[in-house]
Amino acid sequence: MFSSNPPDSDLLKSLLEPLLDDFHYWFERSRQLLETEEIPFLSAEEQADLLDRVVTAQKEVSTTQMLFKATNGQVGIEASMMAPWHRLVTECWQIAVRFRLERSA
């Protein structure tokens, strides 16, 4: 239903824009790791699947960023849409930490 109280675009910009930038940054770092390193504790299929999920999430984040900018910050995004991105970033962090720990041992 339409709301007569439009969202505060300054508040949306101050919260959502940096959050989307963070997702973009971490997905790019994860993608670089998965494309350039063989992760010994992941099967080739698991690594390929994770890379596919990261690439898909990158595209979703980029699309969201474009819409956000095209509407001059007048649209938001449901938290339920960002939850899978958060879980994926967390999964990638865990894999990167384990990879670096095992490589340094």
Closest by CA position to 84, among listed 76, 92, 94:
92
**pLDDT tens digits for range 67-86:** 988 988 877 788 899 999 99
Q: What angle do CA 22, 24, 25 make, to 5 degrees?
A: 65
CB neighbourhood size of 88 (10 A): 19
**pLDDT tens digits for range 17-72:** 999 999 999 999 999 999 999 999 999 999 999 999 999 999 999 999 999 889 88
Q: pTM of the entire structure?
A: 0.87
Asked whether the CA dihedral 104, 47, 38, 42 is positive or negative, the reply is positive
Look-up of token digits 């962090």: 93
